[in-house]
Amino acid sequence: MSNSRLRVLYLSNAFPPGVGGRFPSVNPAGHPQETRMAQALARKTDLVSVGLLPQEVWGQLEPKDDSIGLDHKLLLWERPPELWHRWWSWRQLRMFYLMEFVRNGMPDVVLVRNLTPVFNHFVKWLRAQRPRPAIVLVFADSSTFGKKVSAWRKFRYSFKPMQTLNDDAMLLYDACISFGVGTRSFFDERNIPWMWMASSFNFSYDPPPPDPARTGPIRFGYFGALAEHAHILPTVKIFLDSKVPGSLRVCGFGKLADDLKALAGQHPNFHFDGVMKQQECLAWAQQVDVLINPRLAIWGLENSFPSKVFEYAMTGKAILSTRTGGVDRVLEENGLYLDAENFESSLREKLKEVSALPRTELQRRGTAIRTHVLKNFNWDEQARRMVEFMDGVVSSTEGRRK
């Protein structure tokens, strides 16, 4: 590669600016991730983005609010009837690519966010072109990747237009940038370049300095998805059963809000503070001493990284978490860790253990985590690593792309 900036075409699911705030339950973590990542990459590359948007947003791009987003050169839609709109979207994407190719020259990299039928179908077409750019997957998550697929399901998928099983779709790409540590073996076994990039913090926040005079029992908190996969209801019940002297506060977004509200009405040491946007929860977290990330080692969660861990870090609070997804690689020695395999008993013991720690020790850990994440896991640093990786992929695959 020369010293010129990489030319990147980014195929994205992020909303345009001014839209996401009205759809807090649609891709609540993924949208800010994609937006911040693309903004950082655009500072280091010549980046053009294309957005594939969900049906919930169709016809509702106006009126604009103040939420972040990407100024896409082209908007595509995933909506009913799926067969027609997927076909039309990939045709539009192909025409857009050919027009950009004629006007501005071929991009160095086509960077694709996750595995969707439209993007996969475009990548299949693009692989047959000569010359072609390097094609790199940004693999944020998948609950089915690596899972054994029955012969019957494979047979059925062979008749579904524009559908590709995730493990098969992976082989369409020249390289992978993965949020989850659990995907590495798949790519290593196939000699496909792989990079771990565990996202970054998406909302800047400057917490007040720790109060050394604060007294009373240790207070715990959780913010994020209020959903079954987040294991928040069992966490609350284990906390209540543990009889530790402190309190637990919860806020977030999701379908379990009513269940949590009902529990809060029955227990004075559990408080549900309502449905909030993720960025609003950072200031809310100043009420607590320790934030809990109850991420279990269930199928698919090693394929992603819990983005809220970075927002937790921005609050300056201590973090009690499982190691699932590579969390310990980010928090390192200052994290407080649960055993995901024996979650219930481990959480009971850790709640008691942490409740007995000096508050100053928890404050020290929280401050150290924040400092470490600010330095090593900001989006500009992650973008630098991604560009370095993509440069290497472009150079190493040049011969077979001509």
The DSSP result for 206-248, as a single string, is: -PPPP-TT--SS--EEEEEE-SGGGTHHHHHHHHHHHT-SS-E
User: Is residue 213 a part of any domain in this protein?
Assistant: no
User: Is residue 90 a part of any domain in this protein?
Assistant: yes
Domain that holds residue 190: 7-200+378-401
In terms of domains, do 371 and 384 share one?
no
pLDDT on residue 300 = 63
pLDDT on residue 166 = 61
In terms of domains, do 196 and 243 share one?
no
In terms of domains, do 309 and 386 share one?
no
Integer Cα distance of 23 and 326 in angstroms: 29
Structure tokens at 117: 């039928």
CATH code of the domain containing 371: 3.40.50.2000
Amino acid 219 reads R
User: Is residue 205 a part of any domain in this protein?
Assistant: no
In terms of domains, do 14 and 98 share one?
yes
Sign of CA dihedral 80, 227, 202, 207: positive
Domain tally, the chain: 2
User: Is residue 210 a part of any domain in this protein?
Assistant: no
Radius of gyration of the chain (CA): 22
Integer Cα distance of 54 and 56 in angstroms: 5
Residue identified by tokens 């973590």 is 29
pLDDT on residue 272 = 96
Sign of CA dihedral 297, 374, 226, 218: positive
In terms of domains, do 112 and 43 share one?
yes
Largest CA distance in the chain: 68
Mind listing the pLDDT tens digit of every residue in the chain (402 residues)?
445 899 999 999 999 999 988 887 787 778 899 999 999 999 999 999 999 999 999 999 999 998 999 999 999 999 999 889 999 999 999 999 999 988 889 999 999 998 899 999 999 999 999 999 999 999 987 666 666 767 666 667 666 667 666 667 888 999 999 998 888 988 999 999 999 999 999 998 999 999 888 899 999 999 998 988 889 999 999 999 999 999 999 998 888 999 999 999 999 999 999 988 888 899 999 999 999 999 987 766 677 899 899 999 999 999 999 999 899 999 999 999 999 999 999 999 999 999 999 999 999 999 999 999 999 999 999 999 999 999 999 999 998 888
User: Is residue 50 a part of any domain in this protein?
Assistant: yes
Measured between alpha carbons, how far is residue 276 from residues 5, 206, 232, 393 in Å?
39, 19, 15, 40
In terms of domains, do 261 and 341 share one?
yes
In terms of domains, do 186 and 302 share one?
no
In terms of domains, do 357 and 258 share one?
yes
pLDDT, tens digit, for every residue of 229-270?
889 999 999 999 999 999 999 998 888 999 999 999 999 999
Angle of CA points 190, 193, 199, to nearest 5°: 125
User: Is residue 211 a part of any domain in this protein?
Assistant: no
pLDDT, tens digit, for every residue of 347-375?
999 999 999 999 999 999 999 999 999 99
In terms of domains, do 258 and 279 share one?
yes
In terms of domains, do 82 and 224 share one?
no
In terms of domains, do 117 and 242 share one?
no
User: Is residue 177 a part of any domain in this protein?
Assistant: yes
User: Is residue 240 a part of any domain in this protein?
Assistant: yes
In terms of domains, do 273 and 329 share one?
yes
Query: Do residues 250 and 260 lie in contact, with contact meaning Cβ atoms separated by under 8 Å?
Result: yes
